[in-house]
Amino acid sequence: MTRSGIVQLGSLAWLTLLWVALWGTFTPGNIAAGLVVALAIMVLLPLPHVPVEGRVHILSLLKLLAVVVMYTAQSSFQVSWLAVRPSPPPITGVLRHKFRIKSDLVLTLCVDVMNNIPGTMVIELDQSQRVAYIHVLDVGSDKAIAQFYHTANRLESLFIDAFERDADWKPSPWHTPAGAGAETEDRP
């Protein structure tokens, strides 16, 4: 079975499970109805093809998830402290970060994680140059700025290790090399 077939079966199973969970009863009729609804969704509302250019490494993915949870908790405490501390509000700013991530999908996942960490918000992303402009809540000291770049670089390295190792990288025909400019034709 091909990768896309596995993804389709996974999507079918997920949508069916979601249907059963929404109705709250695990019966043969409910499962059959979930399969029908899932098939209808997949046929009538297909998702665009997303190229898979690397391979998922489970242990690296688990490490990434653990670090994301740690950063989210740590950042939540820092933002809470900045909100209640008896001093002026922190100095905010926009910092630039150039990514080494090659895949559009993995870049999107990394940006989503950065947006979910309290105190940071990606406000602009230049996809072709792989540059993000990120609003950071506290840039009042060199230490705070260095901490942001350390966090961004660590997240990026973990995403690369989990999804884009050079040994497993197979560029999609849709892949645009960084710096090559925007594509002018529509993708199928």
pLDDT digits (tens, 9 = 90+) for 43-54: 998 877 766 677
pLDDT for residue 3: 66
Q: What is the mean pLDDT of residues 93-121?
A: 91
Between residues 32 and 138, which one has the greater pLDDT?
32
Check whether 184 has a pLDDT greater than 70: no
Give the Cα separation of 42 and 21 in Å (integer): 19
Between residues 67 and 177, which one has the greater pLDDT?
67
Total length of the chain: 188
pLDDT single digits (tens) 54-106: 778 899 999 999 999 999 999 889 888 888 888 888 899 999 999 999 888 88
| Both structure tokens of 58 | 């489970």
How big is the CA angle at 101 (ends 97 and 103), to the nearest 5 degrees? 135
* Distance (Å) of CA 176 to CA 27, 77, 104, 155: 47, 39, 9, 23
The answer for residues whose C-beta is within 8 angstroms of residue 58's C-beta and 6 or more apart is none
Domains of the chain, residue spans: 3-44, 58-168
pLDDT for residue 187: 38
pLDDT for residue 5: 77
pLDDT single digits (tens) 164-174: 887 777 776 66
pLDDT for residue 102: 87
The answer for residues whose C-beta is within 8 angstroms of residue 182's C-beta and 6 or more apart is 127, 128, 176
pLDDT for residue 183: 45
pLDDT for residue 51: 67
The answer for residues whose C-beta is within 8 angstroms of residue 128's C-beta and 6 or more apart is 176, 178, 179, 180, 181, 182
Instruction: Select the highest-mean-pLDDT range: 10-14, 24-28, 95-99, 180-184.
Output: 95-99
